[in-house]
Each structure stands twice: as structure tokens, then as C-alpha cells.
Structure 1
Amino acid sequence: MTDVTTDNPFFRPSTLPYELPPFADITEEHYLPAFDAGFAEHLAEIKAIAENPEPPTFENTIVAMERAGELLNRVALVFFAQTSTDTSDRLQELEEEISPRWAAHLDAITLDGALFARIDALYERRAELAGVGGAAGAAGAADLAGTADVAGTADVAEAAGGAETAGVAGDAGAAGAAGGTEAAGTAGAPLGPVELRLLEKRYRDFVLGGAKLSADDKARLSELNEQLAALSTEFDRNLLVAKKAGQQVFDSADQLAGMSADAVAAAKENGEAVGLPGKHVISLKSFSNQTELAALEDREARRALLEASLERAWDSNSPVIVKIAMLRAERAALLGFASHAEYAVQDRTAKTTAAVEDLMTRLIPAAVANAGREAKALRGRLPEGQRLEAWDWTYYSEKVRQAEYDVDSEALRPYLELDSVLVNGVFHAAELVYGITFEARPDLVAYHPDVRIWEVFDADGSGIGLFLGDFFARSSKRGGAWMTNYVEQSHLLGQLPVVVNNLNVAKPPVGEPALLTWDEVRTLFHEFGHALHGLFSDVEHPTLAGTNTPRDFVEYPSQVNEMWAEWPEVLANYAKHYRTGEPVPAGLLARMAEAEKFGQGFAVVEVLAAVMLDWAWHSLAVGEDPGDAKAFEEAALERYGLLIPEIPPRYRSSYFAHIWGNGYAAGYYSYLWSEVLDKDTVDWFKEGVGAGAEEAEKVRSIRESGELFRRVVLSRGGSVDLMGAFAEFRGRGPEVEAMLRARGLAG
């Protein structure tokens, strides 16, 4: 066992509040020794479980696996989070070494025949173990048996966490998280529905992980997993290099005409930060259409910025993604599936590739037609003889919004100061809906000076956990926005959650405010929805805690939380001019809502293009060579009717971090799939308030609705049938009409 006398901070539980990692004591040199010890310790614990001479029980097998690997989980949570948020050359070297070892370690557990024999024996006896009435419970749990471990990182709007290596602790057992069991799981007592769900999940995970393969096939599977882990790390490294090299440099502030004064100042400050004093530098965000395109008046500046975005990482990542796609197809075939997409949906609420394709093909024609109508309106505003290009779309869309709806996105930014949006908006909404409060903890040290920490309290004053906010972009941080766990909630261990939200807002000059775009406001609310999912977790087993839900469900709670950004009482509380304190001009919210309907064709098409690119790459059959990556991308978009030069995919293949590095392979459809649940739930919240209700009654109704949503959905993680949980509070299953209406696709 580990020698706890060493000074390595990972070798013992943190003594800080809520077991916050002792970041001030952690150095890069602590990681490798902690991983070495963690791997060895975890394998020894697994060996003891597999070779236990006693007959297998839920307690001595499933619960014992949940308890195993405490040290490994502790170091993995911190390490894989840091490589995303504040990496370095040394950390990248370590990641290249650790990622394939991590994959091999997980395979050593999943492919352990003696261990699987014990799980298999329990699975075959699950109805008997459930006792009287348990068989029915087992049948119900089987509907979602084996729900996917969503690496404890949930991204959301942009880059999502978790890696091909499963490195960011979501699989609390295989990844080595400590865990526990319900009291009913002890010897002689019948298993309850939660235990049955955990048992069935373990069984499904092992089967999908290759536990039933022959010895030769297991060996090949391990090779594939190690290669994929290394390639995923290579993709991420190439993308970080491309992010630095692909930044757009402008010699003069005149080229940035149309952008607000503070945005121009931030670009100049960014030039200083990246070693280009006197230049104005726009660093690329993770998605294709950079937000600055809506403001830049200089058409050549727009073209240069968009082309820099669209062309990044092709040279370095094209061969990498082709290899990943082919190896994933081979792995799927080895496990008995026609494609990686078919393999991936086994652990999701969609269940079948046909279900995914049915929704997407239903959306494509309507979205394309909607975008065509928008393009016609934009062409009417172009100078005579000028052709509509991709770098013109968002700029002239903004002109339409200004002219038709009296909405100026740049003029809105002074009302959207980061701290006000966070404290008076995001936190205020959480208190309004769920009764929770926040207290800044400047006494606690995070992993970077820009990161702030808050303690979160329930309505009764009891502590819920810690929330970390890391909002600014930096060269050592990957692009996008995401949520990660540092500590997962567990009743057995007495652990409460520690979660972090990451954004990539441009850091303003010292003394200046950070003013957000409306899209960044929505992203902030979205990511905090993931944080709430982790903070409200109220389960016994970490494997089933918080965001450890199917990939096509995990975006649902975060998308619901976006609704509070424009809820009148919340908006009025945070959207105030950062200098004068004046509220946003009357009627702006209504005009914004109308203006956004105009852009839904573009918005849905760019997302659908990314969805279907993901789907095409992961629908390859074993042995099928996609050839040139760019040519494959173009052919796929044309096949699905989404090859529209004026609307590039939200992510092109070479920088599509969701699917190559962050766990969304054959899963990017999840955003639209979850949106069906989201929009239906937004309608439910609004129905609960009631038209014409008095203000006090509205507040009471929101709290009552929030408590129900928290209890039925947010607190239960993956411990229940999640579609059943939706029906429990909604009174019926989800219906797609609310989503179609919101996207302007109804009819």
C-alpha cells in the first residue's frame, strides 16, 4: 500500500474544506509518482476482489470495486483537469506518457476474466438478489442498464471534457473513484433499484469493454485502446499548437472598426500577452464562426479571421483523425457492431442509430429552408455586385437585427459585465429557483490566479460544496467551455462535490471590466447548469453521481438553465450598465427574442453540419478508408444536404475537439437530442408560474417547480431511469414540438 509518509500531496486525502485539492502544494513532479503508486494500488485492490475465495456478493464485488482506487482517482481528477486548463510543456510530455498507460490500466480491469466472472454471476442472479418484487425492479432498471459514464467533465456549449482515455474520472470504479453502496446491498438484504442499476451498469460496461472476447481479441482490443489514447492526446496537442499559431494578428486598430472600444483594448492587451506588443490579436475560439465577425466592418479583416479559424490544424490533425476513425471502426467490429456509432448509442437514451438519424433527417430540410430565407434577406443588404460569403453572414445578420428589430449586440455589451452576470444573474437565479446561496472564499487557493472559489449553501444553511470559476482565456488553456468535478459527491464517504466551470472570455486590460456578448452570457448560464447537476447530486455511489449520465442526457440540465438568462426578474437584476447602473432599455429582451428567431436557420444548420460530420466519421465500417480528410468532410456534408459554403459547420473535422479528444464521438447529436427535453421543460416551468399571477405567487411557484426539478432530475445523477424521471415531473414523455417552435422549424 502507499507510504503516506511521503510529502506527495496526492498520497493522502486533502484536509481542506470539501477535500479541495491542495493546489498550492502540488507541483508537476508530483503527478508521475502518484500515478505510478495509484496504478499499482488499484490493481492490487482489483486482484484481491477477483481472487476473493468467498462467493461473489454485491458488497464484496460491486461495492468493493467502488471503493477501490482512491489514490488513482485523486491524482487523475486533478491531472487531466490541469492539462485542459493550465498546461505546460512538461504536462504535455506527462500526458503523452500517462494516457496510453491509463488506457492499458482500464483494460487490465475490464478484461480481467476472474473479475468479470464474479460480476457475471451476480448479473445472472439479479432477479433473485432483488428479492420479492425485485424482478420487476430489475426489469425496469434494465431499460437503461449500463448508462454511459460521462467522464466527470461535462462540456457543454463548446468543448466538452473527458478524453478517449476516460481520464477525467467519470467511471468512478474503473477510473478508480472511491464509492459505496446502499444499505440494502449488504449480505442477506435484497438489492434495491439503485443497486440493481449499478450492477447492470457494471455488467454492461464490462461487456462493451470486451470482457466476453477471446484472449487474442482482448489483446488486440488493448492495442487499439492504447493507440487511440495516444492519438487523442496527439490531436489535443496539435490543436493547442494550432490555437496559438492560428490567432489573427492585426497591425492597426483601424482594422477592428465596428468592435467596441473595450474589445479593441482587449485585443491590444492580448497582443502584449502573446508577445506581440503594439499588435492587436484575436485568439481563436473553439468554434468556426468567431463572434467578432458580427462587428468587424472591414470585410478583409472578416475574411482573414474566418479563414484562420476554418483552416486551423488541417496539416497536423488530418492524418490523426483518419487513424482515429479507422481504429474506432475496427474496435466496434471487434465488439460485434457495424460501426462506432452503433457501438456508442448502446449506452445512451437514443438506443439505436435509427433513432438519431430519424430526428436529424427530420430537422435538416426545415433548417436548410429556413437558412435559405435568411440568406435572401442578407443578400438584399449587400453592396451591389457583392456575393454573400461565409464571412459576411453574421455581420449582415447583425445589420438585419439592428434595422428590423432595433437590436445592436455591441451596444448591449456594457450591460453584461461578467461579475454582475455571474453574481446578480447566475447566482441570483439559482437562489430564486433552488434557494441556494454563495459565499466567496478568497482564503482558498485554486490552480491559477484567475480562478475564484465560492462555497455553496442550501436553503437551510448547510454546506453543499465548492464552486470554482475559471472564466478567462489564456494560451495554456484549451478553447471552449466546460464543467469538471474535482470531488464527486458520495454519501458513503461523506464527500460533497467540488466543481469548476471553465469559459474562454477575453481577459480585459487591468482595471477594465470584462464585458460579455449575449452568447457568452448564455454559455455562462449553460455551464452553471452542469455545475448544479454536480452540486445537487444526492446519491450513494459516485459512479452514478452528478453528470455521470448518458452523453445524450447530460446536456439537458445545462440547457434548461439557459432559460434563466432571459427570465425577466433575473435579467433585470444583472443587466445594468457597468458605469451608470442604468437597466437595459425597455423592451430589449422582447426584441432580442424576435431577432434571434431570424438567425435560427443559420444556427441549426451549422450545428447539424457538425452533428452529421461526427456521424459520418463514426459510421465507417471496419476497413473502410475515408481517404483525404477534407474530401471526406465535403462528401459527407453534400450527402446530408448540408454543404452550404456560406454556413461552415460549427466545428470542422480538424478542430472538432468534442469528438476526437473529449468523449463526444458519435455523440455530438446530444445537444439537439437534449434540446427536445430542454424546451419541453422550459414550457413546464412557464406553465407552473401561470399567467397573471401575483409577484409573490410567481416566486413561490418558481421555487416549488425548482425543488421538484432538483429532486426528480438534478439530484439523482444516473441512479434512475432518466426518461422515467422526465415523465415523473412532466406528467408525460418528451414531445418535440416545443423544440421545433423554439428553433423556428414548426410545420
Structure 2
Amino acid sequence: MTQDNPLLAPWTGAFDLPPFAAITDDDFAPAFEAGLAEARVRIAEIAGNPEPATFANTIAALELAETTLDRVAGVFYNLAGADSTEAREALQRDLAPKMSAFSSEVTMNRALFARIEDLWQRREGLGLNAEESRVLELYRRMFIRAGAQLQGEAADRMAAVKQRLAVLSTRFSQNVLADERGWSMPLAEADLEGLPDFVIASARAAAEERGQPGHVLTLNRSLIVPFLQFSPRRDLREIAFAAWGARGASGGDTDNRAVAAEILALREERAKLLGYASFAAYKLEPEMAKTPAAVRNLLMQVWAPARARAEADAAILEGMMHADGINGTLEPWDWRFYAEGRRRTEHDLDEAALKPFLSLDAMIGAQFDVANRLFGLEFRPLDTPLYHPDARAWEVTRNGRHMAVFIGDYFARGSKRSGAWCSAMRSQRKLGADVRPVVVNVCNFAKGDPALLSYDDARTLFHEFGHALHQMLSDVTYPLISGTSVARDFVELPSQLYEHWLEVPEVLEKHARHWQTGAPMPRDMLDRLLAAGTYGQGFATVEYVASALVDLAFHEGAAPADPMEMQARVLADLGLPHAIRMRHATPHFTHVFSGDGYSSGYYSYMWSEVMDADAFAAFQEAGDVFDPETAAKLERFILSAGGSQEAEALYTAFRGRLPGVEALLKGRGLLDAA
């Protein structure tokens, strides 16, 4: 089986990349079976080792015990998110309980935990270096938080709860994808009136991708948002907005409301089995925030000025709507249309005029150039088969040394879940061999010839590449602390910090060039773009903070029997402006319900933003946003360090102190909001 299955046979291609062209969907299930079987044998050998526990025969051995399984999973889960098929979705559903059960087998193996605990009790005399001490500490914490100290019925129940959560999380994610894939709205020629050429081209490409004639509107964010911005047809905007908001809540087999309720109940039970007052208390303990109260304090400091700004903006936009002869109240499907009109008036900025200067290829060149100037990285295109024709790859080197393979998969398609993310098919480590990472950035930009980005799209591109740098520059020995394996409210620091270089005038002067003529963006347009940097931040901050506060409320106390009722109550208590909705309503809040990653943790983007504003200020204070000394400190203490220390220690080593919220408010233009 090993020889016949390309996932299990040695990978002999360039940079040991997966042999994508040889892999079929039928290969995954037997490869997982083989990987799980091998891992179980190795775990049993570690747990049953008659020799006294050492760091090498227990912790280091655990780090390599699942090598084959990790290799297979690295390929499968990347493809399941970026290019799903019916077979992959079915296997994902089948794997969810199996992988959860295996995880429970490992973390609740009493003999294995006894060896870890023995090492922990003897840690002072083991002669461990700082990284080994950290890895030992994290293993012990991981096992305890997974239920290693539970016994009898409590242990059995914990395993059952986690297994059920894995099933529900997979269902939640697949339901959202099904709803996004299942809705489209044909656009007649008259419906295209007022839309810029790039929106029309995207609607045509969406129709082609679905095998339909003409033009269609889909629920891809890079298509529906500009439609809401530019379409003068209020009736069509209302239909589109309603469909966008109804993902996961349209009734039938893909409705996620009951799924979300069960997930919340099981999370509360899981936390209480471990002795925590709430799931939020459990989840936040190892994060920078530590407590729900600290999260709420940060979010509420930002909420008041953001709401004040948004309400002032709403009054202006509603006045514009009334001037158009439309009476009544400004609605959510009106906001983006009138906000875009106001931006054209106040800042003389028209996204349709801006986008020709922000082609995808130009912005990829910009993100690579910044990485070269800051960290000396160079990027060489690779001609190698990948998992989809839209994906492309580069070898990343520094001073001739191979650092990583970077894969970019940028265009929306029906087989790809929404959003943008960074993942690693293979993470960096030195244990056992010098393994360099294979890092993937996935986005959902509208396809075009060429693909033209909005400024927000370009910011997303830079954001995900900041995550990629965290993976590519990782320089640790142990996989457990490699790359982005850090506190959830610290992981967004590199990504959000990297966004700041998109705002550097010399970067845009060099790379923001018209895709047809090569002419640079006119200086007056560039100045207006940068001057409008905080435009719309009342809206953006309110829709984000509302989502984060609902997430916190879900997990801070008893699980709600009806999450939708709690969502409505939280938003009413906050005084959410009528024309703004949560960025992610509960039935399609995949950050929170498609796994535990951002559950009780959606706040983390803002927690990291407090740091990213302060971290970029370090470059500004040095007098050069490409200051080599500051860049070297950023790499040493943050980008290369992974989870080798607690986040507070890493940031303090870089900056000398922890930041306050003022830099965030200033960056969002909210310091003067009442």
C-alpha cells in the first residue's frame, strides 16, 4: 500500500512537495488509516517504554510520532478547504470523529501522561535548554487541558464531547459552503447599469465558473461587496444582502442554528468537566488576555467611540439617501452604496478608478519586495504541478539558502470556502532533520483578466502574507512551537503588522502601476487614498466589535438554548446602529463554530491590533520603515521565535514594553470620537 499510494510513498519531487498530479481522492482514506496505525504504534511504544522517562524518549519522540499522519493531513485539509469535492467532504465528515477519538486516546493515555508529569516534576535537574523547557511545559498544559487528569465516567464523557464537537464543527463549515455554493442571482443587462467594468467582468466570470450564460451575482465577498457598493438598484441590493445574511439560516438540511446551540452546550460541558466556570474562562487562560473581563474591557473601550462615529456617519448617509428621493430609514443594504458615494465626494476616490493600479500581480510583487527589504527574502517562480490550476508557487531563499516554498491560491471558486487564510502543508522544524515549510495563502478574489484588487483586497493579501512570513522565518527545533503556534491573540500580530507596509507611500509609488500603461498611480490619487485611510472605520469597527462581543457572550456564562435570541439581546443592549449588522452572524460565524480556533477568541484581531499599531511605530521612531535593526529584532523575537516563549515575553523583548490601546484608536481615527 505504501508503494502504491502517492501520499505514503517517498516524495522525490522538487523540495519534497506533495505529488499533486498523482494523488486522487481515493488515496486519502487508506493514507489516513496507515498514518493513524503508525502513530498508534509509536505512541504505545513511548507510553510503554520500560526505560525511565527522558526528554528524548518521551517529548522528542512524541514530536515525531505522527509524522506520516501529519504529512497526509497537511495535504488533505488544505485541499478540503481550498478545493473541496463531494468525496473530500464525505471523507471530512468521516474523519472528524476518528481524528477526535485518536486525539483523546493520546491525551488521555494515563501511562503517557505519567511520563510527562514525571519529567515535569524533575525538570530542574534535567539540564533542559530554554526551548526544551518550554516544549515540556506546553505538552503538560496541553494534556491537562485535554482531560488527561480525568478518570472514569468523566474521562469517557470528555472523549465523547470532543468527538461530537468535531462532527458538528465539520457540519457547520460544510453547511455554510453549501449555502454559498447554492445561491446565485442572474443579472440581466439592465441590472448591470451603474456597475463598474470590474464588477461586470467578475459577474461574467462567476457565470462562466458555474456554467451559466451572461452574468450572475454570487455570495463571494469579492463580488457581492462591490455590487452592494455600486449597484443603484436598491431592490437588487436588498435581495443580495438578505441572501448573504441568510447563509446557514435558510432552513432545511444546511441550517446551522441548532448546530450552533449544540456546539455551545457541549463547549460549556467540556469546560466544566475540567473545573472551569465557563468555556471562555477555559479558552482564555493560556492567551494573552487571560480572562473574559480583560477581553470585555478592551472591546468596550473601542465600542463607545466606534458607535459614536458610526451613528454620525449613518445620519450623513441617510441624508444622502433622502436627497435621492428615497424616504425612510437607512438600511444595511444601503450603507455601502452611499458610503462609496460619500467617499467619492469627500475624498475624490473612486474604487473603479483605483483598481487598475492594484492588479493582483503588482500587489504580489509589492508584498515580495517589502519582504526582501525587511528580511532579505527572494522569490523565484516554480513551474511545478499543484492541486489546482489557479494556484502558483515560489521558492523562497535568503543568501542562496532555501527557506520555504510559498503557494498562492487567490481566486474565488465554488469549491473553496469563503474568506482568506494561511496554512502550512509542512511546518518548519529542526528535530530529526532540517525541515523547511510549505506555506499556503488562500484568498477569494474575483477572477479577471487581469485580476484587479480593491484596496481592501490588497490589504487582505498583505495580511495573509504576514502570516506566511511567520511560518517561513520560523527557526525552532520542535514542531509544537513552530511558526504560528502561538497564543491566538498574538498570532494576528505579524499579519496585521505587515498590512502597514501597504500604506507606505514609496511602496505604492513603486508597485501601484496601471495594468495597461505601466504608469504609476497619480500622486494626487495616492495622497487621497492614504488620507482616506480611516474612512469608514466607524462602520468597520462596529460590525467587528459586535461580532466579538456576541462571541464572548456565547461562552462567558451558561450556554444559550437559543443562540439567535442571545445574539439579538446582546446587540440590543449594545445599541447596534440599525443599518449595521454583525460582520459574521451566528449561523455563518465560521471563525467561532468551524472548530475551536477562534471560539471565545474573535476578539484576538483587536488584541493583536493594539500591538501591531505599536510595533509599526517602532519602525517609524527609527526614522525608516525599513530600518534593518528594527526588522532584525522583529524577526528574532517574533517571526522566528514561534511559541518558544509566552507572547508577553516575546513582545516585550521586541519593544521593551507592552502597549496601550491609544495607538489602536489613533490608527482607526477614533481618538476624537465621543
Coarse TM-score class (shorter-chain normalised)? over 0.9
Alpha-carbon contact 1:290-1:309 (below 8 Å) kept? no
Q: Secondary structure at the match of 1:380?
A: helix
Q: How far is 1:642 from its partner? A: 4.4
Alpha-carbon contact 1:103-1:225 (below 8 Å) kept? yes
Q: How far is 1:313 from its partner? A: 1.5
- In 1, Cα distance between the equivalents of 2:10 and 2:659? 42
TM norm structure 1: 0.86
Q: Give the match for residue 46 of structure 1.
A: 43
- In 2, Cα distance between the equivalents of 1:745 and 1:266? 34
Q: How far is 1:284 from its partner? A: 3.0
- In 2, Cα distance between the equivalents of 1:664 and 1:729? 26
Please list, as runs of the form range in 1=range in 2, the aligned pairs for 1:266-285 lying within 5 A after superposition: 266-285=202-221
Q: Give the match for residue 374 of structure 2.
A: 433
Q: How far is 1:239 from its partner? A: 0.8
Q: Give the match for residue 675 of structure 1.
A: 609
2:21 pairs with 1:17: no
Q: Give the match for residue 592 of structure 1.
A: 529
Decide whether aligned partners of structure 1 residues 283 and 702 sit closer, same or farther in structure 2, where only a CA change above 3 A counts. Answer: same
Please list, as runs of the form range in 1=range in 2, the aligned pairs for 1:443-454 lying within 5 A after superposition: 444-454=384-394
Q: Give the match for residue 741 of structure 1.
A: 666
2:225 pairs with 1:256: no
Alpha-carbon contact 1:270-1:282 (below 8 Å) kept? yes
**Residues 366-398 of structure 1: per-residue CA shift (max 9 Å, x gap):** 211111111122223123434211111111111
Q: Give the match for residue 246 of structure 2.
A: 311
- In 1, Cα distance between the equivalents of 2:409 and 2:54? 43
**Residues 413-455 of structure 1: per-residue CA shift (max 9 Å, x gap):** 11111111112x111111121111110011x111111110100
Q: Secondary structure at the match of 1:197?
A: helix
Alpha-carbon contact 1:433-1:706 (below 8 Å) kept? yes
Q: Secondary structure at the match of 1:597?
A: coil
Q: How far is 1:579 from its partner? A: 1.1
- In 1, Cα distance between the equivalents of 2:53 and 2:331? 65
Q: How far is 1:591 from its partner? A: 2.1
Q: How far is 1:526 from its partner? A: 0.4
TM norm structure 2: 0.96
What is the letter of the counterpart of residue 410 of structure 1?
A
Q: Give the match for residue 138 of structure 1.
A: none
Alpha-carbon contact 2:219-2:244 (below 8 Å) kept? no
**Residues 620-647 of structure 1: per-residue CA shift (max 9 Å, x gap):** 42xx4422x43222112223x0433211
- In 2, Cα distance between the equivalents of 1:538 and 1:583? 38
Identity of aligned residues (%): 41
2:320 pairs with 1:381: yes
Q: How far is 1:293 from its partner? A: 1.4
2:232 pairs with 1:297: yes
2:394 pairs with 1:457: no
- In 2, Cα distance between the equivalents of 1:526 and 1:253? 36
- In 1, Cα distance between the equivalents of 2:354 and 2:479? 42
Q: Give the match for residue 551 of structure 1.
A: 488
Decide whether aligned partners of structure 1 residues 340 and 256 sit closer, same or farther in structure 2, where only a CA change above 3 A counts. Answer: farther
Q: Secondary structure at the match of 2:657?
A: coil
Alpha-carbon contact 1:35-1:72 (below 8 Å) kept? yes
- In 1, Cα distance between the equivalents of 2:655 and 2:241? 42
Q: How far is 1:66 from its partner? A: 0.6
Alpha-carbon contact 2:183-2:218 (below 8 Å) kept? no
Alpha-carbon contact 1:427-1:437 (below 8 Å) kept? yes
Please list, as runs of the form range in 1=range in 2, the aligned pairs for 1:258-657 lying within 5 A after superposition: 258-285=194-221, 290-314=225-249, 315=251, 316-384=255-323, 385-423=327-365, 425-442=366-383, 444-458=384-398, 460-492=399-431, 493-508=433-448, 512-621=449-558, 624-627=559-562, 629-639=563-573, 641-657=574-590
Identify unmatched segments of 5+ residues in structure 2: none
Alpha-carbon contact 1:325-1:620 (below 8 Å) kept? no
Q: Give the match for residue 592 of structure 2.
A: 659
Alpha-carbon contact 1:488-1:545 (below 8 Å) kept? yes
- In 1, Cα distance between the equivalents of 2:125 and 2:397? 42
Decide whether aligned partners of structure 1 residues 585 and 253 sit closer, same or farther in structure 2, where only a CA change above 3 A counts. Answer: farther
**Residues 686-743 of structure 1: per-residue CA shift (max 9 Å, x gap):** 111x2xxxxxxx48x5333222211221001101232222122212222221111111
Q: Give the match for residue 631 of structure 2.
A: 706
**Residues 659-707 of structure 1: per-residue CA shift (max 9 Å, x gap):** 111421111100000000000011111111x2xxxxxxx48x5333222
- In 1, Cα distance between the equivalents of 2:231 and 2:73? 42
Alpha-carbon contact 1:435-1:703 (below 8 Å) kept? no
Alpha-carbon contact 1:312-1:654 (below 8 Å) kept? yes
Q: Secondary structure at the match of 1:36?
A: helix
RMSD between superposed Cα atoms in Å: 1.6
Decide whether aligned partners of structure 1 residues 625 and 429 sit closer, same or farther in structure 2, where only a CA change above 3 A counts. Answer: closer
Q: Give the match for residue 168 of structure 1.
A: none
Q: Give the match for residue 128 of structure 1.
A: 125
Q: How far is 1:47 from its partner? A: 0.8
- In 2, Cα distance between the equivalents of 1:418 and 1:429? 15
Range that drifts further, 322-331 or 360-369: 360-369
Q: Give the match for residue 29 of structure 1.
A: 26
Q: Secondary structure at the match of 2:425?
A: strand
Q: How far is 1:87 from its partner? A: 0.8
Q: Pick one of 618, 633, 645 that aligns with 1:684.
A: 618
What is the letter of the counterpart of residue 651 of structure 2?
F
What is the letter of the counterpart of residue 332 of structure 2?
A
2:151 pairs with 1:209: no
**Residues 435-493 of structure 1: per-residue CA shift (max 9 Å, x gap):** 11110011x111111110100111x1211110001000111110000011011111122
Q: Give the match for residue 180 of structure 1.
A: none
Q: Pick one of 80, 92, 97 that aligns with 1:95.
A: 92
Range that drifts further, 414-423 or 723-732: 723-732
2:43 pairs with 1:108: no
- In 2, Cα distance between the equivalents of 1:537 and 1:13? 25
- In 1, Cα distance between the equivalents of 2:290 and 2:216? 48
What is the letter of the counterpart of residue 513 of structure 1?
P
- In 2, Cα distance between the equivalents of 1:574 and 1:592? 15
Alpha-carbon contact 1:256-1:298 (below 8 Å) kept? no
Alpha-carbon contact 2:82-2:416 (below 8 Å) kept? yes
Alpha-carbon contact 1:432-1:702 (below 8 Å) kept? no
- In 2, Cα distance between the equivalents of 1:62 and 1:355? 33
2:654 pairs with 1:726: no
Q: Secondary structure at the match of 2:380?
A: strand
Q: Secondary structure at the match of 1:403?
A: helix
Alpha-carbon contact 2:307-2:576 (below 8 Å) kept? no
- In 1, Cα distance between the equivalents of 2:364 and 2:172? 33
Q: Give the match for residue 161 of structure 1.
A: none
2:175 pairs with 1:238: yes
What is the letter of the counterpart of residue 120 of structure 2?
Y
Q: How far is 1:286 from its partner? A: 9.2
Decide whether aligned partners of structure 1 residues 516 and 286 sit closer, same or farther in structure 2, where only a CA change above 3 A counts. Answer: closer
Alpha-carbon contact 2:93-2:167 (below 8 Å) kept? yes
Identify unmatched segments of 5+ residues in structure 1: 130-189, 691-697
Please list, as runs of the form range in 1=range in 2, the aligned pairs for 1:43-82 lying within 5 A after superposition: 43-82=40-79
- In 2, Cα distance between the equivalents of 1:215 and 1:98? 26
Aligned length: 663
Q: Secondary structure at the match of 2:406?
A: strand
Decide whether aligned partners of structure 1 residues 457 and 744 sit closer, same or farther in structure 2, where only a CA change above 3 A counts. Answer: same
